[in-house]
Amino acid sequence: MDKVLFGDNQFFGVNHMSEEKSRAQSMRFRDTQAMIDVLDMAYEEGIKSFMCTTHDRTSEICDYFRSNADRYPDYQFYPGMPYAHKYANAVTDDGIVGAIKKFLPNDGLIDAVMRGGSSLAKKEIDGIATLLIDAEMKMFEGLSTPVIFLQNVVTDFLLGLGMKDAFRIFADHIKLKYNAEPGFITMNMPRLLDVLEEVGVENPIICANINQLGFRMCGGVELYNQTLEQRQFRPIAMSVLASGAIPPRQAIEYVSKLPKVQSIVFGASSLGNIRQTKALIDEYMNR
């Protein structure tokens, strides 16, 4: 994996500290070209990996990169699925069964499951899960996707429900169908690692908040540091600035000194912030 990954929160108005900034970003990036312009800024600074959700508008970005493949011969997408709001809205509009039918490419399977009752539903759950993954991945067809992530909303929901086999299903399908590495985004890195080891997902890629303040780090800084020191996995650090509460140099220096950290993902919308953050990661991660 590249040491620097570019995130997409700024494109869709995600800001954990300021609703005002969130609204301003949503307005700015209503036009797809505005998103492309920022990705081009990052590309010119040497950032060639885009970690993105499967938001409907991400498909517009994918269309652009497919149409201009010659300009970006080494560009990589790191999809994170599912985009939870998309499914939540569909459930509100169409109900649970209607929402599943809406997103699955094969209605016949769902109809059979509903007619067959709980025993058939349990038998076919693997097929439903993999079909949903395939539906989410359609927008990335023809693009390089070396790592495919399960989004934290679903990861942590499955952890809470104790649905451990779901992680194995996801990992196996990503490897077999897409010849890619499965990744997992979480707010509870230590617990997720326990479960992944239990179901046989070895040396997993885990993207989690890692910062000095313990911002959105379930278990706290000390437990995360112990996990990084003692466990075998490939961590990606996100929210290293704790949503702006830590100065960039201090934040990146701290994370870069932690063991095993493979990459840092960050989002930015100005050339100055992109250039500064990339330079700091290069400075400290290459030591």
Output the domain CATH number for residue 223.
Answer: 3.20.20.100
pLDDT given for residue 12 in this prediction: 84
Tell me, yes or no, whether 106 lies in a domain.
Answer: no
Best CA proximity match to 210, nearest among 230, 189, 232: 189
Residue 94 has pLDDT above 70, yes or no: no
Compute the distance between CA of residue 63 and CA of residue 142 in angstroms, rounded to an integer: 10
Tell me, yes or no, whether 238 lies in a domain.
Answer: yes
Instruction: Classify the phi-psi angles of 235: left when phi > 0, otherwise alpha if psi is within -120 to 50, otherwise beta.
Output: beta
Residue 232: count other Cβ atoms within 10 Å of its Cβ. 10
Compute the distance between CA of residue 229 and CA of residue 187 in angstroms, rounded to an integer: 18
pLDDT given for residue 158 in this prediction: 93
Q: Give this prediction's pTM.
A: 0.87
Tell me, yes or no, whether 108 lies in a domain.
Answer: no
Q: Which of 37-46, 104-113, 232-241, 255-264 has the lowest mean pLDDT?
A: 104-113
pLDDT given for residue 114 in this prediction: 45
Compute the distance between CA of residue 217 and CA of residue 157 in angstroms, rounded to an integer: 16
Residue-averaged pLDDT of the chain: 88
Residue 50 has pLDDT above 80, yes or no: yes
What's the Cα-to-Cα distance from 229 to each of 190, 203, 221, 232, rounded to whole Å? 12, 14, 12, 9
**What residue type is assigned to position 215 of the chain?**
F
pLDDT given for residue 115 in this prediction: 45
pLDDT given for residue 171 in this prediction: 97
pLDDT given for residue 5 in this prediction: 98
Which runs of E-coded beta strand occur in 132-285? 147-150, 181-186, 205-209, 234-238, 263-266
How many domains is the chain built from? 1
Range of the domain at 221: 4-86+129-285
Tell me, yes or no, whether 116 lies in a domain.
Answer: no
Tell me, yes or no, whether 105 lies in a domain.
Answer: no
Tell me, yes or no, whether 205 lies in a domain.
Answer: yes
CA-based radius of gyration for the chain: 19
282 versus 115: the higher-pLDDT residue is 282
Return the SS3 of 56.
coil
The tens digit of pLDDT for each residue in 135-176 reads 899 999 999 999 999 999 999 999 999 999 999 999 999 999
Tell me, yes or no, whether 99 lies in a domain.
Answer: no
**What residue type is assigned to position 146 of the chain?**
P
Average pLDDT over residues 241-264: 96
Instruction: Classify the phi-psi angles of 169: left when phi > 0, otherwise alpha if psi is within -120 to 50, otherwise beta.
Output: alpha
Tell me, yes or no, whether 109 lies in a domain.
Answer: no
Residue 61 has pLDDT above 50, yes or no: yes
pLDDT given for residue 129 in this prediction: 79
pLDDT category, 70, cuts 50, 70, 90? very high
Compute the distance between CA of residue 280 and CA of residue 285 in angstroms, rounded to an integer: 8
pLDDT category, 38, cuts 50, 70, 90? very high
